[in-house]
Amino acid sequence: MHRSAARKARGSGSIRLGGVTDYGAYRSLFDLSGTRSLVIGAGSGIGRAGALGLAAHGSHVVCADLSLPAASAVAAEIDAEGDSATPVSVDVGDPESVDALFGDTLDVVVTTPAINVRKRLLDVTAAEFRRVVDLNLLGTFSVVTSAGRMMAQAGGGSIVVVSSIRSQVVEPGQGVYAATKAGVLQMIRALAAELGPQGVRANALAPGVVETPLTEQIKADGDWYRAYAEKGALGRWAQPIEMAGPIVYLASRASSFVTGSLLVVDGGWLAVDGRYTPPL
């Protein structure tokens, strides 16, 4: 699709909805037909859910992951449903590998990869600190700046970065991880301010506890798993599919006036964190 046609089909930059009388304009708010999306970390967890959600709403999805077999498996799932996807391999820690993803115009970019070293700050080594920062912060920087340059030149687009509730609240053992997630949020806010005039939107997603391969360590500890479930208002963990709706929302025209924001999807964790239910 020609760039200008893609912009019209997606309209993720500035669109005018006030006074619209065509009911179809409201029906098409989440329609991503004719768009092209890149999901980094698509091989599993939240990335996989986001890729499937975007494809189900009509976008051609480039499924990118460090593991090409994992990316290919998700792309095959999408193709099997009659939608369209392309698998590619990427190393977010390698700027050249990231740059290679942006040869074609993209309307939506979603990036999820992150790692954590669960240690108290006084026990974290400089090497461990650099490993977390290099992937979570520097890797995200490589993605969003490459995406931002491409989208600014094309005249619009939507960038979605997965941050965390740890950008807002912390606990022992999460210091470095939380610092990177807070940094990612502030970087996205700056990008939104800088690229808004070019029609580029940039937002962050803050999941709470989600059952993914990366949280198997917690799930294996019954007390830890239950304690996290009880911290939220809904009293349970999220499933990855529950992140797909927010990702599609931030990618689509439904969020055309949303940029520089943090969309919290945490089952009420931040609302009731540290609560005590008194005997009333």
Point out the residues that are catalytic: 164, 177, 181
Cα radius of gyration (the chain)? 19
Q: How many CB atoms lie within 10 A of CB 234?
A: 13
Cα–Cα distance for residue pair 222/244, rounded to 1 Å: 27
Residue 50 and residue 269 in contact, taking contact as beta carbons nearer than 8 Å? no
Residue 50 and residue 112 in contact, taking contact as beta carbons nearer than 8 Å? yes
